[in-house]
Structure 1
Amino acid sequence: MSDKKNPGDKASLTRRALIGGMAGTVLTGCDAFQESETGRSILFSGEKINMGLQRALMDRDALAREYSEAQMSPRFRANGTRDPGTPDYAAHVANGFADWRLTIDGRVDRPMSLSIAELRAMPARTQITRHDCVEGWSAIGKWHGPQLATLLKAAGLKSDARYAVFRCADLYRGTPYYESIDLIDAFHPQTILAWAMNGEMLPVAHGAPIRLRVERQLGYKHAKYVTGIEIVPSLKPIGQGQGGYWEDRIGYDWYAGI
């Protein structure tokens, strides 16, 4: 999850350069500027422009490319946390996540608490997609799980709902990991809560028992070890207000579209 550099794929680089360059060309390579308060405010403003430009240029419902099983990577690296390592998580692993619950709350009409068995019983989507890591690598894997839209429709969204915030079991410097996406991406048909990977139950290193797959964004947006989804009207009260752990800590773009 803690993907940190530009993806190595040339097409992704070209596409991101076209969009991001229009908003932030003058900022490239200027570390002192980026570290200043003024610079950071402009960068975050530029990120919003980047998001708007990308969505203006691309169909919001367009699917990420899907691949055949023959094209799957022989090795799919685990990134970010490979095991939360807490006593609570170890206990869940020991009992096969029988007591794990996913909560859906916040600005919803019907707050929910779902077991892994209930999630696995839901209609599910299978997709073979490429994971583009900001550290510079990519891998193709097969994911299986219910569409996030199915859960959000069941919970019922209030009129002021705007974002889905994902709460996770892994800790970074004592802080549970968190990420967020807006409802446009939440309702994208390829946005799923995956409980299986490459035909088997999701491994611990890849976020067991469930992880987010939001295929139109870079890897750090794909939250692992998801325990809760909070629907909110604004990201300002979440963490330091930028929408995610790495966005708050080191200034990653909140919208990491590819």
Structure 2
Amino acid sequence: MSLILSRRALVLGAAASLAGCDRLAKKEAVREALFSAENFHKWAQRGLMARDAMAREFRPDQISPFFRPNGTANPNTPEYKALWRNGFADWRLRVGGLVERPLALSLAQLHAFPHREQITRHDCVEGWSAIGKWRGVALKRILDAARLRDGARYIVFRCADDMGDGRGYYESIDLIDAFHPQTILAFALNDEPLRVANGAPLRLRVERQLGYKQAKYLMGIEALASLEGIGGGKGGYWEDRAGYDWYAGI
């Protein structure tokens, strides 16, 4: 029988490993940083598992018959509809921030990069899951092409969905997840180009985190030293508006 290490079990196991750290934990600043729910979860997962540990991959016969869209099913803005009508020929993924070589990549240019395929499970915070086959470009390849500067610590994703407030959906991850081999910019699902409902023309797949981290309708990527100036400063749309954890590892 395979062992499934749940989020709860991971945290409880990490707690047991801290038995010898009680003197350090008595210091208020250390305690607040270490034992906040989000920081402790992040520390626990990364402390007990290898940084390059892979999310489970599935067989083709395990692919879900229908991959339910998460979040918005269509940005439906004039700008997005114009891109869609033209088959995204005029769309560009802009890569900037703390990089030595800013990029503006077309879909054709992304297709020219080496691809990765992976069959993984999407776990939504709403309680549903679906298994799909994704094809895309490892985010690492794009960041290497842009050449990150030394001060970069986070990668922020900007999306075409304005979420009704004109600000646009945004998410972020740190460099550990950005350079993970299963973190890809996906342009195909189940051997077909992404449908609008699933994030066309390009979406993030960061397979070791929950669904709201999988930003859809990508328009831009920024490498930054801090998340303080992004939205409300918590690193993501739902983190700022609904108090979701920034680190949503599973």
TM-score of the aligned structures, taking structure 2 as reference length: 0.88
- Measured after TM superposition, the shift of residue 46 of structure 1 is 2.3
Matches within 5 A, 1:138-149: 138-149=129-140
Residue 161 of structure 1 aligns to a residue in which SS?
coil
Seen in structure 2, the aligned counterparts of structure 1 residues 93 and 43 have a Cα distance that, compared at 3 Å, is farther
Seen in structure 2, the aligned counterparts of structure 1 residues 116 and 44 have a Cα distance that, compared at 3 Å, is farther
Equivalent residue number for residue 7 of structure 2: 16
Determine which structure has more spread, i.e. the larger CA radius of gyration.
2
Equivalent residue number for residue 209 of structure 1: 201
Matches within 5 A, 1:51-200: 51-174=42-165, 175-200=167-192
CA-to-aligned-CA distance 1:101-153 (integer Å, 9 cap, x gap): 00110001111111111111111100000101111111100000110000000
CA-to-aligned-CA distance 1:47-100 (integer Å, 9 cap, x gap): 012101110011110111111111100111112110000111111111100000
Structure 2 CA distance for aligned equivalents of residues 143 and 50 of structure 1:
27
Structure 1 CA distance for aligned equivalents of residues 173 and 3 of structure 2:
20
CA contact (8 A) 1:23 1:46 kept: no
Structure 2 CA distance for aligned equivalents of residues 89 and 18 of structure 1:
42
Structure 2 CA distance for aligned equivalents of residues 231 and 44 of structure 1:
28
CA contact (8 A) 2:113 2:137 kept: yes
Structure 1 CA distance for aligned equivalents of residues 48 and 96 of structure 2:
33
**Unmatched 5+ residue regions in structure 2?**
16-31
Seen in structure 2, the aligned counterparts of structure 1 residues 251 and 22 have a Cα distance that, compared at 3 Å, is farther
2:99 partner amino acid: V
Equivalent residue number for residue 3 of structure 1: none
Structure 1 residue runs of 4 or more that deviate by more than 4 Å after TM superposition: 11-14, 20-24, 41-44
CA-to-aligned-CA distance 1:223-256 (integer Å, 9 cap, x gap): 0000000000011111111100000001100000
Residue 240 of structure 1 aligns to a residue in which SS?
coil
Whether 1:244 and 2:236 are equivalent positions in the alignment is yes
Structure 2 CA distance for aligned equivalents of residues 257 and 21 of structure 1:
15
**Aligned counterpart in structure 2 of residue 231 of structure 1, from 223, 226, 229:** 223
1:164 partner amino acid: I
Query: How many matched pairs?
Result: 232
